[in-house]
Amino acid sequence: MQKILIEGGVPLNGEVQISGAKNAVLPILCATLLADEPVEISNVPHLHDVVTTAKLLAGLGAEITIDQGTIGKGSESGIVVDPRSVHSHVAPYELVKTMRASVLVLGPLLAKYGAAEVSLPGGCAIGSRPVDQHIKGMQALGAEISVDHGFIKARADRLKGGRVVFDMVSVGATENVLMAAALAEGTSVLENAAMEPEIVDLAECLKVMGAQIEGAGSNRITVHGVARLHGGKHSVVADRIETGTFLVAAAMTGGRVTVRGARPDTLDAVLDKLRQAGAELDIDGDRITLDMRGRKPRAVNITTAPHPAFPTDMQAQFMAMNCIADGVGVINETIFENRFMHVQELQRLGADIRVEGHTAIVRGVPQLSGAPVMATDLRASASLILAGLVADGETTIDRIYHLDRGYENIEEKLSGLGARIKRIG
């Protein structure tokens, strides 16, 4: 079992390249199933979840060609998916249980082949993660859906355009229904849709393939179904969560870091909170420079909410920052029911955190002290790395397979900024 070992105390300085967004490339890979021709996707991050999705598509019969670019240096790698040889519409439990996003093949398979069987994804560390909104959306487009023996079984001769009003904002349900509606007969309207930048990127890719979509990025998306979608090329949007993670690392260590290849317009709420924490930010095109001028950050209050509000995927990272900030920061997690798994691990490093329901009260301490800790989910593992960067002495982080799902070569990128970090075992 590999671990990450960090010797804390080094202010980060330098430049780091941001990779393509995990939460954009996963639905985009699933969307390739809708096409009648090969689809070429570039700026693909080298992540375990990308490999899992490629295996899922190959298991359905698609031809996958991966062009291994220069890993970690802009990761110009690409994937070509040729869906013309797809012969199955069953997404097996063995794959779905390792990655919930596998449920995103439901919409494309249903729209393209009229049938789909997708294992229920089940919960994960941060919550029960139901898919009722995905099912509601498919039914609104005319699908017959049954759920039994752990499988979602869906069928439809041809999906018909319809109106879907989501009960709550759901990124995955919006993506699934958007993909299904692209090939449905007639017009569909998605109300209370998620507005995340990854939705916009998915819509851009679908439009390249010939889909007719208006309003992606707003809470109402209109889709005029077409008879077929052709191939095309799309470059994945920069990962706003990776961007925010590196900027928080710079803020915590009191350094000066420039992230390259970023999309500043996709993380306004995060940048605002970093300014509140006392960071000086300079934005120049796809580059964001954060300079703390050696100061400690001020504690900030966070309430997570759907985009454009503060993203839940940055909650754990800001909690790590609040652990060593001046003052008290209050963090409200409103999206997931159990996304404080990093608290007890941060407490092992000496953090002063009190949890009351979905609220964590974090009182900054002068210094964290290094210790062995355990990653529990993707963003929690990132927060432990950030804490290790400032903790006195050595921190080892176990179960880092969580980390590899969503961060491309994070220890190489942090080493490039001066961190004393390495992977062992």
Catalytic residues: 124
Query: Which of the residues 88 through 117 are near ligand EPZ (CB under 6 A)?
Result: 100-101
Does 23 participate in binding ligand EPZ (rule CB under 6 A)? Answer: yes
Question: Cβ of residue 291: shortest distance to ligand EPZ, in angstroms?
Answer: 28
Among 107, 297, 329, 406, binds ligand EPZ (CB under 6 A): 406
Q: What is the DSSP string of 372-399?
A: EEE--SHHHHHHHHHHHHHSBSEEEEE-
Taking the C-alpha atoms of residue 12 and residue 410, their distance in angstroms, rounded to an integer, is 14
Among 379, 380, 383, 413, binds ligand EPZ (CB under 6 A): 379
Among 201, 313, 404, 411, binds ligand EPZ (CB under 6 A): 313
DSSP 141: T
Question: Cβ of residue 27: shortest distance to ligand EPZ, in angstroms?
Answer: 7
Nearest to 404 by CA among 423, 420, 425: 423
Among 46, 89, 112, 134, binds ligand EPZ (CB under 6 A): 134
Does 26 participate in binding ligand EPZ (rule CB under 6 A)? Answer: yes
Among 62, 335, 385, 414, binds ligand EPZ (CB under 6 A): 335
Taking the C-alpha atoms of residue 93 and residue 90, their distance in angstroms, rounded to an integer, is 9
As a three-state string, the secondary structure of 4-42 is EEEECCCCCEEEEECCECHHHHHHHHHHHHHECCCEEEE
412 CB-near residues (< 8 Å, 6+ apart): 72
Nearest to 280 by CA among 269, 270, 291: 291
Taking the C-alpha atoms of residue 379 and residue 96, their distance in angstroms, rounded to an integer, is 20
User: Residues in contact with ligand EPZ, total (CB under 6 A)?
Assistant: 25
Question: Cβ of residue 320: shortest distance to ligand EPZ, in angstroms?
Answer: 15
Question: Cβ of residue 240: shortest distance to ligand EPZ, in angstroms?
Answer: 11
- Which residue's Cβ has the minimum distance to ligand EPZ? 172
Does 312 participate in binding ligand EPZ (rule CB under 6 A)? Answer: yes
Rounded to 5°, angle at Cα 222 from 219 and 227: 145
Interface contacts to ligand EPZ, rule CB under 6 A = 22-23, 26, 100-101, 127, 129-134, 168, 170-173, 194, 312-313, 335-336, 378-379, 406
